[in-house]
Amino acid sequence: MEVKGGSMRVAVIGAGTMGAGIAQVIALGGCPVMLHDTADSILRRALARISRSIDQGVRLGKTDPARARRAKRAFTLTTALERCTAADLVIEAVAEDRALKLSVLRALDDLVTPETILATSTNTLSVSALAAGTRLPERVVGLHFCNPPHLMRLVEVVQGEHTRPAILDRAMAFVRSINRTPVLLPDVPGLIVNRVGQVYYGEALRLLDDAGVDVPTVDRLMEALGFPMGPFRLMDFVGVDTAYDVSQALYEATFHEVRYRPHPRQRRMVEAGQTGRRVKPGFYPLGSGPDQG
């Protein structure tokens, strides 16, 4: 199958924050999107978030109004997994839980055609291990859209141990067709973005204890060097809980490599509900820090 612009039919499984963000990018890229989740209410909320995000892009002058209108018409919502069988590409974007992701991939394995690409959005689990649980591991690939997908142009395309070169070629072409930048990677723990990101967070957290500097000072210094966000602003943006979970997963996957060891301060903040993401205070109070960006 040849990929040209919006010719690829895509299904996204999981309408949470990441799944909805991926679906939005694909719709704006010109592809029809089947968005699946377990309840109509989840799907309706996801579509409302997507619509608001697209509208904001128009207001900010970043999205052409005609393109926005086409994207909003690109969605089909469903709670029936079997309706996704017509897709050329199915992206699993459920919660970062190995058993759950494997169950979704196995269910899809029994429904879709052998030519369908099965992609996992995981950023901490082994693509090869997930693929090994399917009948055709050679058609499984990783597509890690960086968070938030509608703002971040990079997509890490992950080659599992069994992924066929032809599948990789189709996945790379698809990412380019939706105006994103694919980077081909082997199946290594944390890929590129998370490995660099966790060191960025970890060193900043250690500076609070070792050097006696404060959160705003570290962020101001890093932003003055040209980083779009300092490490604490960035953790608040993606979620302190998310950063902590990724750090734990990477620490385990690398057999306790000290660079990726979670910091006690992260755990204390998560336990106290200080998770950021514009919903709760994190390293900054609500109404300051990344919420003003």
Which residues form the catalytic set?
A: 144
Contacts of 182 (CB under 8 A, 6+ apart): 155, 156, 157, 171, 172, 175, 176
In the beta sheet, which residues pair with residue 91? 12, 119
- Alpha-carbon distance of 232 to 175, in angstroms, equals 30
**DSSP character for 35?**
E
Both tokens of residue 197? 């990101």
Helical (H) or strand (E) element with 276:
none
- Which backbone phi and psi does 136 adopt, to 5 degrees? -125, 75
For residue 231, the Cα-to-chain-centroid distance in whole angstroms is 19
